[in-house]
């Protein structure tokens, strides 16, 4: 599976992933002490929804397009607010002309004492990212294989923060890299928050990944799964997953409110569902379907 950001910016997977990212950052902001966000596969940071890539798939229309047009109740709107504010800030003239990737979203939510480290391997993408953040003293863009971030980049000097791991799944073995990366990172920085994205396409691979994570030795792992359609005969991106290590104590409660709302707006076929499951640390699971 090739999941280059430009083709899928703003789709349902981005919406779910970025809503969770925003909630994690908002939690870290509860304390005055600075923190760092490390984005290991940052992409180009800002996506033109009129570009050839975005128009080829049109996936953003079924993602952020639906959310922006949909209705949220008061509680849902408060929780989704930081994410939606970042999207609106990227479109100052209104409408949806552009979509903020994870580094730009994170940067929008940071305070003056917080820092962002954005890593990107592809030279052209890294160059565009450097232009986007030129002159920003709170952001450091590094042209580097994101998998190397689990070594020398951890722990950050702030000793607080989160690591977003959002690989493009261009190569074989990405599930194994996620697992090995988390193990290595946790040994170096057991107090960090880690958010690991994965596609729900190969159901057997996803099930094996979850089993392996449960045995990884990380005390608290919350698995977030969100499907827009049930499994089909031909493999396709039916859903999105995000595993959060060391999740904030409020995250599960917030997602029990947000996930049903997002699912109501983004689901495409009946029989698809969402779930919250503790792979380690807790025992209560929540599920929903339509």
Interatomic CA distance for residues 207 and 180, integer angstroms: 16
pLDDT tens by residue, 156-173: 999 999 999 999 887 889
For residue 48, indicate whether it is catalytic: no
Instruction: Dump the DSSP string for 177-220.
Output: HHHHHHHHHHHH-TTSEEEEEEEES-HHHHHHHHHHHHTS--S-
pLDDT tens by residue, 19-78: 999 999 999 999 999 999 999 999 999 999 988 777 777 889 999 999 999 999 999 999
Cβ-contact 49, 288 below 8 angstroms: no
Neighbouring residues of 223: CB distance < 8 A, sequence distance ≥ 6: 210, 213, 241, 242, 243, 275, 276, 277, 278, 279
**Among 166, 202, 212, 238, the one annotated catalytic:** 166
pLDDT in tens, the chain (290 residues): 444 676 788 999 999 999 999 999 999 999 999 999 999 999 999 999 988 777 777 889 999 999 999 999 999 999 999 999 999 999 999 999 999 999 999 999 999 999 999 999 999 999 999 999 999 999 999 999 999 888 888 999 999 999 999 998 878 899 999 999 999 999 999 999 999 999 999 999 999 999 999 999 999 999 999 999 998 877 788 999 999 999 999 999 999 999 999 999 999 999 999 999 999 997 656 676 65
pLDDT of 2: 41
Q: Strand, helix or coil at 150?
A: helix
Interatomic CA distance for residues 56 and 4, integer angstroms: 13
pLDDT of 1: 40
Q: 207: which 2 tokens? A: 């099930």
Backbone angles phi, psi at 237, to 5 degrees: -75, 95
H or E segment and range at residue 57: helix 52-57
Smallest Cα–Cα separation from 271: which of 280, 279, 263?
263
pLDDT of 101: 96
pLDDT of 285: 66
pLDDT of 89: 97
């Amino acid at each position: 599976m090739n999941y280059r950001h430009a083709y899928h910016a703003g789709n349902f997977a981005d919406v779910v992933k970025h809503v969770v990212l925003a909630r994690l950052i908002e939690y870290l902001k509860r304390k005055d002490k600075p923190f760092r966000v490390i984005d290991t596969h940052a992409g180009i940071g800002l996506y033109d929804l009129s570009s050839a890539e975005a128009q080829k798939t049109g996936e953003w229309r079924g993602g952020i397009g639906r959310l922006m047009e949909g209705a949220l109740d008061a509680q849902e709107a408060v929780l989704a607010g930081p994410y939606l504010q970042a999207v609106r800030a990227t479109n100052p003239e209104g409408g949806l002309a552009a979509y903020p990737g994870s580094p730009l979203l994170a940067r929008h939510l940071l305070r003056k004492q917080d820092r962002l480290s954005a890593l990107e391997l592809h030279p052209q993408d890294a160059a565009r990212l450097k232009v986007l953040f030129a002159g920003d003293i709170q952001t450091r863009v590094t042209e580097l294989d994101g998998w190397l971030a689990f070594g020398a980049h951890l722990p950050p000097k702030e000793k607080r923060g989160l690591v977003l791991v959002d690989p493009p799944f261009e190569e074989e073995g990405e599930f194994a890299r996620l697992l090995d990366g988390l193990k290595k990172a946790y040994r170096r920085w057991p107090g960090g928050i880690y958010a690991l994205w994965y596609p729900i396409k190969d159901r057997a691979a996803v099930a094996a990944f979850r089993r392996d994570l449960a045995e990884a030795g990380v005390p608290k792992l919350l698995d977030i799964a969100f499907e827009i359609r049930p499994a089909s005969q031909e493999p396709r991106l039916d859903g999105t997953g995000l595993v959060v290590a060391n999740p904030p104590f409020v995250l599960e409660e917030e997602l029990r409110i947000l996930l049903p709302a997002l699912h109501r707006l983004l689901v495409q076929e009946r029989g698809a569902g969402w779930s919250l499951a503790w792979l380690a640390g807790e025992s209560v699971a929540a599920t929903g379907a339509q």
